[in-house]
């Protein structure tokens, strides 16, 4: 075998071999390799062209050596391979072909099978006839059981396919109803021509009036749904005269009785009626209330309405960020315990156990506590038992975006009544894996929850609308062209915005805290301009001078990447100088005052936290970098502040324990330090009254989301 050839060295490696020993001696004993290498790199950068020439010459000479030895090694390897082949030909006559090799393998396998059959026949000949008969009977029974399982599996697959076929038919009918309704709502749709030609939807008429599917719920079989009207009118008001479409619709004046924990606020009851009206029209919707107004409860209320008034127990699917999973389970169990909710999350083994227990054919059998699941006959409007799948032991499945992607095939087997997506701006990229996954689910209705439906541009809004109404908002290019707000004509731009509002009005509702949450204390924002410490200034200047060529050079893709890297390094410098290797003096106490004095931001925050502690406040601190969280932990320990922490690496159990520990009554925790992306979405930390953004996100909406972790319903302090 040919010997390996040592790789060619660079000029810097020759310089390192010659000078590293001298540098370690100069820096003294105990010097770390990182410090020595930093000094070596600095001297190499400061070395003149004439000084480098000797090492460059060594590099060129060593490269030639590498090329010579590589060529010789290749020649030796080729010679060895040729010799081995010649020896094989001399020994066996010729090298066997691949086809001949396959034939020999097949012959050998057939010979082995024949030998096994002969051996089996010999064993059976020696066996007692009764024992042989019993053995054959058991084998035939197992074969029959296998065939029966296969038959059941195929039958279940056919049932699922039939269920999906019915859902497709129902969706087609709803699409016609949607287009008809939207065209009546706004003439803009006819101008946009976003939808194709749809034939007019044919609906049953009763006494010359259209009767919504919701009004027909009481005539079905199975569990009798609660009546959608009453003589006293205490629960529901009916429009007896009919609307402009001569159509009756449902209007609730009281929340469903299965909502137990408290009372819906007026604006939350309004949104429930809005969602009911959407369902009557076959529309999907966006619940875009400002963060902190209770979108979770409002979405639970529409599921409770389906359960109580329509006798529909799902199945419903709720997709949420990992950080809000336990909050959703708590809210479902607290507000509507009648709905049986399961959490689909965990390790691969945990998920497989959940699938076996709840999603398989055997585990889906009815538990005797509830009547069978009800579905609507789209032809008659009546409620019927769902015989296409076995009745379920659950009503609502709550899972995360990541599990949706991982377990897509399992979730695709269901026909979901409601698909609810929390923090739905996750769908702003229609090409993302999660967006493609949920688009493949069979759903009757889709409800998106987001406090920030528009973060960067109108294309993101189109992505949400396309997910809700793909038959209407089918063309991104056409949408972008129609609503091009980058024009100079102020009047035309104003008209476009007005038209956009008209389009969104039927299927998006948004309320602000200032308008509906009158009892919520006001939010005061304070911007503190902070100077850098002497160490930060020196490091900042050094970073700029090190890459001055990238900053001053021509703009290229490579140069642009270098500039972005410089910006990131400067952000780290502003966050804390100790984020850079070799900057912190390791001879000092790790928890000494230098940790605060060498960072302008931390010095100001130190004074601020002392004041907040004195007045009894509790604080959330958000940052972009987990390494800054490490420094903040050292600071908390140094000052004796009790705290909790969440970042992207915090597992589910620890995350929930930290939130519960911070929110519990009488908690001694003063601060909660979080990374903006991991802890800034969907969690309730209203027991805190102050939010500090240690550094800003590139997307200002992420900062707003972080602020509203504490400025939400339930907050008592301004």
DSSP H or E stretch at residue 353: helix 348-354
* pLDDT for the residue numbered 676: 80
* pLDDT for the residue numbered 557: 58
Half-sphere exposure of 170 (CA within 13 A, CB side): 25
The two three-digit tokens of residue 542, written as one number: 């050094």
**How do 383-385 and 442-449 pair as beta strands?**
unpaired
Compute how many other C-beta atoms are within 10 angstroms of the C-beta atom of residue 444: 21
Distance CA(35)–CA(23), nearest Å, equals 10
> Rounded to 5 degrees, what are φ and ψ at 71?
-65, -40
* pLDDT for the residue numbered 300: 93
* pLDDT for the residue numbered 507: 80
* pLDDT for the residue numbered 183: 53
The segment(s) of the chain belonging to CATH 1.20.120 are: 530-591
Q: What DSSP string runs through 320-344?
A: E-GGGHHHHHHHHHHH-TTS-EEEE
Torsion of CA 54, 60, 66, 71, to 10 degrees: -150
Q: What DSSP string runs through 483-515?
A: T----S-HHHHHHHHHHHHHHHTTTEE---HHH
Distance CA(115)–CA(515), nearest Å, equals 86
* Cβ(576)–Cβ(635) below 8 Å: no
Mean pLDDT of each 10-residue bin along the chain, 718 residues long: 73 88 84 85 88 89 88 86 78 59 79 83 75 81 88 81 76 63 52 41 35 36 41 36 46 86 87 89 86 86 91 90 85 91 90 88 40 45 46 88 91 90 85 89 90 72 83 74 64 70 80 74 81 89 74 58 78 88 81 88 91 88 88 89 85 81 85 80 76 83 73 55
Please give the model's pTM, rounded to 2 decimal places. 0.57
The two three-digit tokens of residue 441, written as one number: 């689910």
* pLDDT for the residue numbered 224: 44
Torsion of CA 546, 552, 555, 560, to 10 degrees: 30
| ω into 222 cis (within 30 of 0) | no
* pLDDT for the residue numbered 428: 81
CATH of 170-206+217-514, one of 3.20.20.450, 3.40.50.10810, 3.10.20.30, 1.20.1430.10: 3.40.50.10810
DSSP H or E stretch at residue 161: helix 129-185
* pLDDT for the residue numbered 360: 76
The segment(s) of the chain belonging to CATH 3.40.50.300 are: 617-718
Task: Report the CATH architecture of 530-591.
Answer: Up-down Bundle (1.20)
* Cβ(345)–Cβ(405) below 8 Å: no
Residues in the chain: 718
CATH number of 617-718: 3.40.50.300
* Runs of H (alpha helix) within 523-668: 534-546, 548-552, 557-575, 594-597, 600-614, 626-639, 652-663
Distance CA(423)–CA(296), nearest Å, equals 10
* Cβ(365)–Cβ(216) below 8 Å: no
Distance CA(684)–CA(659), nearest Å, equals 8
The segment(s) of the chain belonging to CATH 3.40.50.10810 are: 170-206+217-514
């Amino acid at each position: 075998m040919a010997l390996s050839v040592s790789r060619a060295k660079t000029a810097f490696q020759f310089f390192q071999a010659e000078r590293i020993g001298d540098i370690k001696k100069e820096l003294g004993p105990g010097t770390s390799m990182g410090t020595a290498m930093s000094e070596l790199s600095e001297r190499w950068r400061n070395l003149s062209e004439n000084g480098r020439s000797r090492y460059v010459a060594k590099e060129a000479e060593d490269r030639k050596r590498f090329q010579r030895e590589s060529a010789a090694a290749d020649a030796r390897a080729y010679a060895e391979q040729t010799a081995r082949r010649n020896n094989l030909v001399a020994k066996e006559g010729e090298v066997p072909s691949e086809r001949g090799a396959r034939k020999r393998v097949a012959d050998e396998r057939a010979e082995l099978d024949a030998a096994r059959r002969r051996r089996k026949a010999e064993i059976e000949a020696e066996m007692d006839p009764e024992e042989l008969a019993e053995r054959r009977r058991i084998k035939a029974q197992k074969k029959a059981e296998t065939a029966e399982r296969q038959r059941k599996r195929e039958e279940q697959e056919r049932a699922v396919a039939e269920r999906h076929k019915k859902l497709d038919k129902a969706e087609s009918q709803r699409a016609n109803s949607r287009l008809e309704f939207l065209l009546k709502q706004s003439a803009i749709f006819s101008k946009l021509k976003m939808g194709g030609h749809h034939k007019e939807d044919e609906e049953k008429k009763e006494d010359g009036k259209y009767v919504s599917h919701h009004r027909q719920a009481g005539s079905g079989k199975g569990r009798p749904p609660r009546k959608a009207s009453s003589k006293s009118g205490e629960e529901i008001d009916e429009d007896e005269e009919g609307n402009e479409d001569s159509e009756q619709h449902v209007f609730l004046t009281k929340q469903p009785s299965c909502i137990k924990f408290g009372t819906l606020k007026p604006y939350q009851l309004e949104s429930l009626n809005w969602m009911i009206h959407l369902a009557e029209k076959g529309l999907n919707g966006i619940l875009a209330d400002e963060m902190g107004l209770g979108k979770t409860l409002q979405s639970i209320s529409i599921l409770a309405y389906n359960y109580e008034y329509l006798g529909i127990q799902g199945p419903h699917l709720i997709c949420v960020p990992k950080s809000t999973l336990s909050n959703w389970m708590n809210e479902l169990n607290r507000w509507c315990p009648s709905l049986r909710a399961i959490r689909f999350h965990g390790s691969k083994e945990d998920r497989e156990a959940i699938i076996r227990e709840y999603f398989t054919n055997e585990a889906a059998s009815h538990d005797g506590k509830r009547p069978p699941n009800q579905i609507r006959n789209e032809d008659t409007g009546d409620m019927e038992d769902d015989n296409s799948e076995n009745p379920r032991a659950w009503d609502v499945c709550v899972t995360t975006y990541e599990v949706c992607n991982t377990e897509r095939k399992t979730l695709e087997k269901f026909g979901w009544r409601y698909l609810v997506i929390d923090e739905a701006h996750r769908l702003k990229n229609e090409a993302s894996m999660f967006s493609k996954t949920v688009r493949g689910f069979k759903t009757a209705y889709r409800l998106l929850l987001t406090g920030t439906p528009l973060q960067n541009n109108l294309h993101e809004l189109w992505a949400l609308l396309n997910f809700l109404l793909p038959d209407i908002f089918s063309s991104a290019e056409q949408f972008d062209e129609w609503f091009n707000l980058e024009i100079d004509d102020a009047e035309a731009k104003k008209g476009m915005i007005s038209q956009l509002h008209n389009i969104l009005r039927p299927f998006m509702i948004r309320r602000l805290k200032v308008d509906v949450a009158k009892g919520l204390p006001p939010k005061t924002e304070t911007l503190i301009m902070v100077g850098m410490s002497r160490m930060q200034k020196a490091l900042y200047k050094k970073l700029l001078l090190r890459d001055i060529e990238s900053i001053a050079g021509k703009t290229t893709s490579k140069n642009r990447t270098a500039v972005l890297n410089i910006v990131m390094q400067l952000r780290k410098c502003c966050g804390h100088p100790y984020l850079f290797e070799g900057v912190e003096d390791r001879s000092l106490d790790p928890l000494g005052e230098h940790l605060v004095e060498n960072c302008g931001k931390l010095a100001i925050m130190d004074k601020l936290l002392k004041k907040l502690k004195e007045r009894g406040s509790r604080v959330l601190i958000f940052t972009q970098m987990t390494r800054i969280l490490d420094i903040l932990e050292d600071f908390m320990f140094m000052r004796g502040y009790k705290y909790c922490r969440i970042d992207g690496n915090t597992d589910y159990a620890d995350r929930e324990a930290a939130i519960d520990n911070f929110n519990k009554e009488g908690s001694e925790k003063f601060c909660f330090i979080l990374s903006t992306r991991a802890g800034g979405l969907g969690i309730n930390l209203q027991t805190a009254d102050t939010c500090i953004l240690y550094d800003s996100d590139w997307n200002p909406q992420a900062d707003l989301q972080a602020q509203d972790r504490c400025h939400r319903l339930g907050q008592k302090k301004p």
